[in-house]
Amino acid sequence: MTAAMVGWAHLPFGKHSEETVENLIVKAASKAIDDAGISPEDVDEILLGHFNAGFSAQDFTASLVLQADDALRFKPATRVENACATGSAAVQQGVRAISSGDAKFVLVVGVEQMTTTPGPEIGKNLLKASYLKEEGDIPAGFAGVFGKIADGYFQKYGDQSDALARIAAKNHKNGVANPYAQMRKDLGFDFCRAESEKNPFVAGPLKRTDCSLVSDGAAALVLTDPATALGMKKAVAFRSMAHVQDFLPMSKRDILKFEGCSKAWGAALGDAGLALDDLSFVETHDCFTIAELIEYEAMGLTKEGEGARAALEGWTEMDGKLPVNPSGGLKAKGHPIGATGVSMHVLSAMQLTGEAGDIQVKDAELGGIFNMGGAAVANYVSILQAMK
């Protein structure tokens, strides 16, 4: 155990046109510091996860965290970016600062404001997380990238529309009870399965209910060393954390395998001395339902090509053998790019300290997180356990 979370904050995700990136950062940072029970003066380092890619005109944002309190002035602050895994990349840098002994308290903030950007520009910005040289002309933007993946998976393993609809319905059902979720509506399997005016096809076999939401939001957490954490009011330790980066071009790899995801899970579980069966729940990166399906296979929940079993047989439901995305995932919670990885860590910490309210997984002791940048390019896995 190299570091622990001792305080956190999560703002509601959704459309917040009245807010700015700066306001979102300040609110989340202030709440996390207060929740940890420390003073701003105690913070030794600041890390901000912010993808941007054109969503915000203000591109130099690391020092905006200092707006939360004048006492943060002159603290080292760095913006971290790794596509949709930006939040976890910032968390990992914070863990490294703690484990190296360079800092006693680290403040990590994740933020994105996407909804104030015109629709066509949103798609253009998101596509920057692909290999533009080969994938920049794919219709429907990043949804088109995963539509292509879904097409390939269907061709190899058969039509998986029922399984994708089950994943979407599960995550929307879970999101109803999450007060931070952007969409708190149980859409049901039938709605998610059928093409309709309200649920049209977007790319390949993917319908609107297969795609995560465009969102604004922020989350933040405070890290410290395990010894210090034992004296705090609450503490959730990192049993392990792994980062695996794969080739950016999909043409250089078997895109149906998510090999970087598999290797990250193997490394994190190995370092923690655990098996997947030991985990109480998993928060995984369901940017599209086909991603969650393939991630079941990559994490070792099923064999290759059999991910549908986990969805159709209820393995990943709240009362299943491994609840996946009890928060509602990106599908219901929303996906403000830079905030997503931090959000996953905050909500998992809440699960492990019994603070998750109506989305609480019973007797949660160990949590796993998978946050992905691009199409399985940046792969981060964290294994968490409450210390007290």
261 tagged catalytic: no
Q: Which CATH number fits domain 4-117+214-229: 3.50.50.60, 3.40.47.10, 3.40.640.10, 3.70.10.10?
A: 3.40.47.10
Catalytic position from the list 16, 84, 287, 345: 84
pLDDT tens for each residue of 147-159 = 999 999 999 999 9
Catalytic position from the list 10, 16, 285, 335: 335
pLDDT < 50 positions in the chain: none
335 tagged catalytic: yes
pLDDT tens for each residue of 65-106 = 999 999 999 999 999 999 999 999 999 999 999 999 999 999
**Count of C-beta atoms within a 10 Å radius of residue 132:** 12
Question: In the prediction, which pLDDT does 145 show?
Answer: 96
**19 Cβ partners below 8 Å, 6+ apart?**
113, 216
Handedness of CA 179, 184, 188, 192 (dihedral sign): negative
**Count of C-beta atoms within a 10 Å radius of residue 190:** 9
pLDDT tens for each residue of 252-308 = 999 999 999 999 999 999 999 999 999 999 999 999 999 999 999 999 999 999 999
